[in-house]
Structure 1
């Protein structure tokens, strides 16, 4: 009887963790930051109303472009988002850098959109979309001054900090400039990079150097990781050169990465499949993390808990998309879906 009671306690704890999964995620792809607004009108109230409407509409357009591919938007003949439609998708907003006069209103918006409303909107228009995020990458920003001197952080880091890129489908996590040594980072010192990965808990580090001259910004870098044997692996980040500031250069780096992630993750066939899986864990904390990874995956429509013990659980999941797409999304969430010769399909910690 005691064993049954303990098993039920574990099951309820896991279900609670699953219910909290959306709130527990640090990054929200339905948030759009840094939307600048500026409008004039005959009076202050009308200027503010116009500015907010314009900002909400721009934010909705940015979100839709983040979640969808250009060819799918064109194929679906996606209409222009109206102010009323943008407002209906919105869950909340914050205003910063607010400035007003009798005829003008300015500020910067951070907009949070309602995932359910956005899904209904895009599904109703027949536009395939991706809402799952890739595994985040640790980012070390190096600013190159006009003199050629390189410094950790600086304006380049500030651009990443205020650009809302943690909400991208390919999110980044900024590494504090005072936690690393410039010489070790630019030389790609393996020990220093391993320390960054251990500190952040991430598997990849992106080192980016950027410089601004006469209104143009150039940036380039490398993504590093370590293979199973501990050898350093490098992936070149394509050089960008934009007419604009550091935030524009950051967007130019993130956007092609998002496009590649969407093309690998998008599901156009809406049919579903069931899969019996065994969730394997060593303790309650690991069980909660794996339960959260599974129940929070956008491609998994339902996860039924069939049985649970102190070291494993049996679940039946209903998913959209190809099996490889489900595996990729779960891996990005810290879980590995793989087929075992003895146990069948299993989910373990990455």
Structure 2
């Protein structure tokens, strides 16, 4: 029992550190292109850093809030002074400097507490918790086009609100279900899959997007026309992030206290279940009150109604059920579907 308790404590620390890493990914805005000239190289570099902080801050606010909420607040103006206050660090991805000119690609990391405090002060709702990791499955009408679409997607996008790892296998279709997708998804630690079917032609690409989980397939929608494959990727990511924000942002309401039994078959599964709860934007004050070799009792508070909580957890590979004697029971929906 003592060994199990120590393992549980380590699992809790791992879940907390993983959630913190997710937050850092959300608050990091990469690939900010800058090109500044000034009387001296030092001045040009300072201007470039300031330009990146400002552009990144605007992208971050758009990333974690909804358009209608920004409009309802009268807009969220961001100037250089505010961008500097919200930022924590600027990293150089690429740079070319000389003769009073600084050109490069920068990455800016923002301070979560400062950003949250600013949005809370404006009473603008936001979500900075990532959706569960997804297996991205690029689909297209021909093998050559699918290969180009796959390449445009890139291997992964860990910093998105809806992060993904791209599938390395072929043979999937728009009808592929979780049973077909779960072996690869499980090997990449993804808890759901995204079918991204490219349609149209050069200059007017559109993407039909669906999310596949143990519960079935949910059609998210189709992106607006994009002129290039790279733009189509950005539109796909934007559509998924918009879908996640609408599912996760809650405007007010009381938190409901809950107690549940968690059932698992291994320490790894217990750690996965804890991590899913820790990452849910609906859950807070999560505590373990009892733990055994194959089960635990936990308490937590949640926002919204039970159905919304159930849907959110299922996206993360966790099944929430109500049993006559035990009450709420949490178990791995992924393992139940035959995925390790």
- Does the pair score TM above 0.5? yes
Alpha-carbon distance, 1:151 to partner: 4.5
CA distance in 1, matches of 2:44, 2:21: 37
When structure 1 is superposed on structure 2, of 7-16 and 290-299 the one drifting more is 7-16
Q: Compute the RMSD of aligned alpha carbons.
A: 3.3
1:289 paired with 2:246, answer no
Alpha-carbon distance, 1:143 to partner: 8.0
- Superposed, 1:96-245 pairs within 5 Å as 96-141=93-138, 150-154=144-148, 156-161=149-154, 165-176=157-168, 179-180=169-170, 184-185=171-172, 196-197=184-185, 199-200=187-188, 201-209=190-198, 213=202, 216=203, 218-221=205-208, 223=210, 225=212, 235=219, 238=222, 240-243=224-227, 245=228
Residues 26-75 of structure 1: CA deviation (Å, up to 9, x unaligned):
99322222222222222222221112111111111111111111111111
| Paired residues of 1:208 and 1:220 also in contact (CA < 8 A) | yes
**1:29 aligned residue:** 26
CA distance in 1, matches of 2:77, 2:21: 33
**1:273 aligned residue:** 256
CA distance in 2, matches of 1:303, 1:165: 28
CA spacing shift, 1:313–1:142, aligned 2, 3 Å: closer
1:95 paired with 2:92, answer yes
CA spacing shift, 1:149–1:257, aligned 2, 3 Å: closer
CA distance in 2, matches of 1:92, 1:217: 38
Alpha-carbon distance, 1:25 to partner: 4.8
CA spacing shift, 1:304–1:186, aligned 2, 3 Å: closer
Unaligned runs of 5+ residues in structure 2 are 334-340
CA distance in 2, matches of 1:189, 1:103: 55
| Paired residues of 1:339 and 1:345 also in contact (CA < 8 A) | yes
Alpha-carbon distance, 1:117 to partner: 2.5
CA distance in 1, matches of 2:11, 2:185: 28
SS in structure 1 of the partner of residue 132 of structure 2: coil
CA distance in 1, matches of 2:218, 2:16: 38
Unaligned runs of 5+ residues in structure 1 are none
**1:52 aligned residue:** 49
SS in structure 1 of the partner of residue 321 of structure 2: strand
CA distance in 2, matches of 1:313, 1:187: 39
**1:20 aligned residue:** 17
With normalisation by structure 1, the TM-score equals: 0.80
**1:8 aligned residue:** 5
CA spacing shift, 1:75–1:94, aligned 2, 3 Å: same
CA spacing shift, 1:32–1:324, aligned 2, 3 Å: farther
Alpha-carbon distance, 1:152 to partner: 4.5
CA spacing shift, 1:128–1:236, aligned 2, 3 Å: closer
**1:342 aligned residue:** 325
| Paired residues of 2:31 and 2:106 also in contact (CA < 8 A) | yes
**1:259 aligned residue:** 242
